Amino acid sequence: MTTFVGFSTINQYKKFTLVDFELIKRDLLNAFNIIQGEVVGRPGYGTTIWNNVFENQTQETLNTITTEIQRVAGGDPRLQVTQLEIFPQQNGLLIQLEIAVIPGQTAQLLSVFFDQQTRRASYI
């Protein structure tokens, strides 16, 4: 039984419908790729992570990024972050999230890379 149904043309060629976890992943990645304040009428949508990607990766910066990821993920009532790890990389940040879909599916691990050069977040 499909719970969530949506539409995406990103990397889709014939079938544009996304369902359940694939839709939730796409929505989360969209939120990570939008800088907070860019969406008209929704000033709280998006993320400020991009402000911290270029900073020295101190414990304070990592705490700020952790808080921001939890805020962005908390904006989606369909998911809950159960585990979060941040790995500074040469060209950006690798963030591993374990998210549980509400209600009921088991948690799944997602790896999101925030690339400094392209300023895009993507799943790896």
Could you say which DSSP state residue 74 is in? H
Is the pLDDT confidence value at 1 over 50?
no
Question: What is the C-alpha to C-alpha distance for residues 7 and 94, in angstroms, rounded to an integer?
Answer: 27
- Choosing among 3.40.1050.10, 3.10.450.40, 3.40.50.920, 2.40.160.50, the CATH entry for 5-123 is 3.10.450.40
Question: What mean pLDDT is reported for the chain?
Answer: 80
Mutual angle of helices 20-33 and 59-74, in 10-degree steps? 130
Could you say which DSSP state residue 119 is in? T
Query: What pLDDT, on the 0 to 100 scale, is given for residue 89?
Result: 82
Would you state the structure tokens that stand for residue 50, as one six-digit string?
Answer: 């991009």
Determine the average pLDDT of the residues in 49-58. Answer: 84
Condensed to tens digits (0 to 9), the pLDDT of residues 58-102 reads 899 999 999 999 999 888 888 888 899 998 888 888 999 888 877
Closest CA to 100 of 77, 80, 75, 85: 80
Are 4 and 20 spatial neighbours (Cβ–Cβ below 8 Å)? yes
